[in-house]
Amino acid sequence: MHSAFVLMNAELGKENKLVSELRQIPNVKEVYPVYGVYDVVMEIEADSMETLRETITNQVRKIDGIKSTLTMIIVKDQ
């Protein structure tokens, strides 16, 4: 399995809507609204790096209300 954390900045007032929409996307494991530099933190998991990339690029980043994202691929112990 391949996993990543995605940190997001949301447009003002769209944080709750964003969290709700992210929770509906397949492969999304956890979504949390947070305070600080970012507004939302998400953990995503997929069978392949290609699926992970496609989900983030084609589903997550196209949601209305996301201003920016920062993706961190999780390194698994070998």
Secondary structure class of 52 (helix, strand, coil): helix
Distance of CA 17 to the CA centre of its chain: 14
Instruction: Label residue 76 by pLDDT band (50, 70, 90).
Output: confident
Looking at 3.40.50.2000, 3.30.70.920, 3.40.190.10, 3.30.420.40, the CATH number of the domain 2-46+58-73 comes to 3.30.70.920
pLDDT of 64: 92
The radius of gyration of the chain's CA atoms, rounded to the nearest angstrom, is 12
Quick one: tokens of 46? 């997929």
pLDDT tens track for 17-53: 999 999 999 999 999 999 999 999 999 999 999 999 9
**Domain boundaries in the chain?**
2-46+58-73
